[in-house]
Structure 1
Amino acid sequence: MLVGAVCGLAWAAALRAVMVEIAGPASAFGWVGTFEGILLPGAVAGGLLGWAEHLRRTGRGRRWLAAAPLVFLLFTPWAVVSVFVDGLGGGAVAVPLFGMAGGYALSGRGPRPARWAAGALALLPVPAWLVALGVAGLGPAPGSARAAWTGVLFLSLLAVLSLACAIPLRGRPDPSRPAWRLVVAGAVCGLAWGAGLRGFMAAAAGPASSVSCSGPSV
């Protein structure tokens, strides 16, 4: 649970970096909004998924723990209300649902058509991200290195969330399963970590931060 909580905290902090890039200069940090609304629920959700991994290894799995990302809504109930009142706050609701759908699709359990449908739902952020950049004008300029980095960070974080949400739905570890699955999962997590570290560098550099496709950047 402690390992899961640390991973969840790092995931939530990286997601906050995505929010900064989307909001641009209008981005603002608050103790309550950032720590109570994003970082704390990230740590709690990660701890629950870590507990799910322990239960899975001991053969006492609890599938309901796949809904751990909904903890974010418990800490920010105003987001749900805002969706119906003024149409805002949809991201706080959508991100956990995308992760849960991806987890079900990756779990290998349940009817195949249902898993395909869940996988299609989990992939919706890809075209949605492109629309947000090109049509809505959110985030960095389309086609820029900064936009590419932000997209990689956002989508890799969703992929990591999907991998985590699959844990409670899977059976006990099977040594006969091919190792390439763990290699791919590790690569996805490493990609998200690297992109998140780049977010820290951007925050440390402040307004002087610049992103390039190759060569040094700050």
Structure 2
Amino acid sequence: MGEVAGAESDVTWVGTLAGVLGPGVAVGALLGWAEHLRQTGGRRGWRWLALTPLLFIVAPLAMPGALAALVTTGIGGGAIMVPLIGLAGGYALSGRGRVWTRAACGLLALSIIPLWAVMAPLAGGSALAVGTPRGALVALHFYALLAVLSLACSAPFRPVVDVGRSLEPKAADERL
């Protein structure tokens, strides 16, 4: 947060813990649980866990003054875009659904690459331009974290593992 916002930022420990790290832990745990449920045959309603990245929107906007700042200045718009990119990327990586919808979601998720390259210098000054060492490092971290989020978000969208078939004993001739 401080690397992106720069030295003049208003980043606080409370804001970082309550608005970023807390929701991150919750989203990671719930998406991990979704993968566990998928690997063990699924459960009724478990695919609703696909919506857990939306905690990245709810938690920061619940902080005092955050909604007003978003509406009046646009500050906090990244808190909305990040989970949407994760969900779109997760659906694109899942291998389920129509090809054209997965392709559209994949293009939406990948659109952050040129968007960051254009917007980061405008928001953070020339130090965040991807042509500078600091800008390239920040961009690489940002892209990598979004890729990991997209991969994790794919768990509730992927097909359920059929545990019944994997537990069947093999025939005598197959064991040899």
- Give the alignment's TM-score, normalised by structure 2: 0.80
1:76-91 matches, within 5 Å, as 76-78=60-62, 79=66, 82-91=69-78
Residue 63 and residue 139 in structure 1: after superposition, are their counterparts in 2 closer, same or farther (change >3 A)? farther
- Give the alignment's TM-score, normalised by structure 1: 0.65
Q: Identity over aligned residues, as a percent?
A: 51
C-alpha displacement at 1:64, in angstroms? 1.7
Higher relative contact order (CA 8 A, sep 6+): 2
Does 1:156 pair with 2:172? no
1:59-98 matches, within 5 Å, as 59-60=41-42, 62-78=46-62, 79=66, 82-98=69-85
Please list every run of 5 or more consecutive structure 1 residues that lacks an aligned counterpart in the other structure: 1-18, 175-218
C-alpha displacement at 1:38, in angstroms? 1.0
After superposing on structure 2, the runs of 4+ consecutive aligned residues of structure 1 that deviate more than 6 Å are none
Number of residue pairs matched? Answer: 156
Please, what is the CA RMSD of the aligned residues? 2.0
CA distance in 1, matches of 2:21, 2:42: 28
1:72-110 CA-partner distances (Å, limit 9, x unpaired): 222122555543332221000000000000000000111
1:125-180 CA-partner distances (Å, limit 9, x unpaired): 10111102455554625322111111110001000000000011112358xxxxxx
1:1-218 matches, within 5 Å, as 19-60=1-42, 62-78=46-62, 79=66, 82-138=69-125, 140-142=127-129, 143-173=131-161
Please list every run of 5 or more consecutive structure 2 residues that lacks an aligned counterpart in the other structure: 163-176
Q: Secondary structure at the match of 2:154?
A: helix
